[in-house]
Amino acid sequence: MIDIVIPSPGESISEVRLGAWKRGDGEWVEKDDVITEIESDKATLDILATASGVLKVAAQTGDDLKVGAVVARIDEKAARPAGTSAKNTSNAASPAAIQATKENAPAHKEISNAAVVEPKVTSVARKMAVDKGVDLGKVEGSGPGGRITKTDVEHAQTAPAKATTSAVVHAPTTGAAQTSAPLATGARGMRRERMTKLRQRIAERLVSAKNTAAMLTTFNEADMSQVMRLRAEHKEAFEKRHGTSLGFMGFFVKAVVGALEKYPRLNAFIIGDEVEYHDYIDVSVAVGTDKGLMVPVLRNANRLSIAEVERTIRELAVKARDNKLTVDDMTGGTFTITNGGVYGSLMSTPILNPPQSGILGMHAIKNRAVEDPKNPGHVALRPMMYLALSYDHRIVDGSEAVGFLVDIKNAIENPERLLLDV
């Protein structure tokens, strides 16, 4: 018997919650099949079979387990069920077949061995692909060694839209809220659901922020006309050159970086009776997923170009959508940006992400009547966005907070400042 134990999801995490079993007790599994998942207060990780054999489940879905605990065992000496074969032999193509494929291929297109060798795929993923009519040849594997997993087939089946590059990425709601039958008219039922580890951690941090920091919020508004003009004029050339779309986040991250360099206490922490200043700027980006709010980090944002910011946020968005954000992806951060505008929020007071001292809230862009700066005394219709800065008043003075937000407003309304670094 081979023990399957809970791995450590990351430093400081000692307990996890066991998710749903992907394979049943007594079922045959192949090496590297995803058999279950574990959920910590920071990330969700797949548990893979470490050998081929019969699975013996030793823990139940929803159990809270310590790192190192045994969740299952695999009897690698059990007889393989009839009709199945080892992957390392079933997927191999003969040299003659490969050569024949090459000879029959069009002259202008080179056919590699990979084109005729069946992709590595877990048995669960293979069965699901057959049931759902998914072509495995068009699925990119995310498992060890590029192996196609059940999750890969699910994503291929649903053909998800291209990930957005906004600060907040909203994944479709799943779980009890979606699967539960709607309440009948006039019903007075109720139910209780156990909070996930991640949701518990979010609750703890929000309460800690409210109870610990002297939190205050200041507001301003920005005319988005010039940024929208730049995007419209250059988005096609930008995407062609850099391989990623041009969104608003590149501009806002650059604006925040410039403002933090001018007002460093918004990039600092209070540690005991000391103020910890940082010579680097790691911007946390709030990401909404079906599992809760996650805050991956853009490392050294002060060294990134607008294209690098957009590309990195896109990668983090995809990882968040696929539940592949790691503890390292979400550890750290010296300042946070959140975008409630993608949900339609017109104004909000964002809560600090401790131990950080500041968080910028972006909101929906709405056309409003404002004074035309080029024609004083006259009203013009402009695309406006409310900006909110919540800050820790213990370390940041009101004048600094207002100056910080005005600096961001000026940068967004005059985006050439961001390009010229002035």
Contact 245, 301 (CB under 8 A): no
Residues facing 17 on adjacent strands: 39, 64
Which three-class secondary structure string do you get for 250-282? Answer: HHHHHHHHHHHHHCHHHHCEEECCEEECCCCCC
Please pick, among 273, 363, 397, 421, the residue that the annotation labels catalytic.
397
Please pick, among 223, 393, 407, 421, the residue that the annotation labels catalytic.
393
Tell me, yes or no, if 155 is annotated catalytic. Answer: no
Tell me, yes or no, if 393 is annotated catalytic. Answer: yes
Integer CA distances (angstroms), 51 to 2, 118, 183, in order: 8, 21, 46
Query: What are the residue numbers of the active site?
Result: 393, 397
